[in-house]
Amino acid sequence: MALTCVRCGREAPLVDGRLCAECYLDVYGLGRGPDSIELIVCPRCGSFRYGGRWVEAAGEGYREALALLFQARFRPAEHVAYYRVEEVRIREDEALVHVIGKLRGDTVERAVTYAVRFTVKHRVCPSCARKASGAPLAIVQVRGYGGRLDEEEEKLLEAAIPAALRGVEDHVIALEKVKEGYDVKTTDHAAARLLASRLKSLLAATVKESFKLITQRRNGTRVYRLTVSVRLPFFSEGSIVEYQGSLARIEEISSGRVVVRKLGSTRRRALTVEDSWRLLKKPSIEEDYNVIVTSISPNWIQIQTLEPSYNYLELRVEEIVKEGEVREGKYCKLLAYNGRYYLLC
């Protein structure tokens, strides 16, 4: 219902029973912002203090920091339904903060620009200080299934490391190759945990954590060093494993899932990393031959083993698990395991 605005005299919907939307904005704006803002910025990495902690900057100069600090101290007017900081422009030592919001009962969004003076103080953040001193707050120790990384495990890890480190490089003090594997030293716990989580997702590794007290600050706060142990499994994509008493192949490892398929079957099953370590076993293959298929009949398959024996074998069809297309003249792999033959072609 349109009433008369007590300030301008126009007949218009009233926001608070007295003022129209335009006059309400003239008197109250969308709220009250801070008169000034003090920025504390790390001169090395550009991160800034916000809410009692250091926040990584998104590469927008001071605009992101000013927007967050302004919004944290902004007090909306009584009849503002919602608001947001839309844009921050910097003019010398003054920030022009563009705020958009909607008044209760109003049909459109309104915009108000606030001019706020700001000062910048430089202080080295704890992460950069630790990086400069070389003292890590966390260590990720990557090891192989049997302890020391073997050649195949090292290749898998070297391929996975770039993706695992993406976005946390600035928190890495050192990536060291040691006798047992790799040690990744980081400036904070979160980066170490994220790195370990990604290696678990990419390689189906297990992750364990332990803490050690390294110092106690003057205010009584205890500082602990986190050690994250990452152990690679015995398998990787393409590996032959034992699953539920039969030979199976690892089809895929991704997103924290291990996809396994029994040889001779088309059914795939996705296991969690924890279940894969519990259910998959390293098989002890009883016989392993490179062979060529020489003859096929309805009931028998005849094969010849290659170097060094060149023997002929006749195997009943029901005794063989066939993987791939089996035809005369094709070179294949013959495995004997748990009382069965597996012909991989």
Q: How is the beta sheet containing 257-262 ordered, strand by strand?
A: 268-272, 257-262, 246-254, 240-243, 280-281
Distance CA 256, CA 273 (A): 6
pLDDT score, position 52: 82
| DSSP structure class, residue 40 | E
Distance CA 292, CA 167 (A): 50
Residue 176: band (very low, low, confident or very high) from pLDDT cuts 50, 70, 90 = confident
Token pair of 160 as six digits: 């996975």
Residue 31: band (very low, low, confident or very high) from pLDDT cuts 50, 70, 90 = very high
pLDDT in tens, 268-310: 999 999 999 999 999 999 989 999 999 999 999 999 999 777 8
Residue 167: band (very low, low, confident or very high) from pLDDT cuts 50, 70, 90 = confident
Q: Which residues, at least 6 apart from 115, have a Cβ–Cβ distance to it below 8 Å? A: 94, 95, 96, 97
Residue 219: band (very low, low, confident or very high) from pLDDT cuts 50, 70, 90 = low
pLDDT score, position 57: 80
Domains of the chain: 2-124 (no CATH), 127-231 (no CATH), 240-281 (no CATH), 287-344 (2.40.50.140)
Q: What is the mean pLDDT of residues 244-268?
A: 95
pLDDT in tens, 188-215: 899 999 999 999 999 999 999 997 776 6
pLDDT score, position 223: 65
| DSSP structure class, residue 35 | S
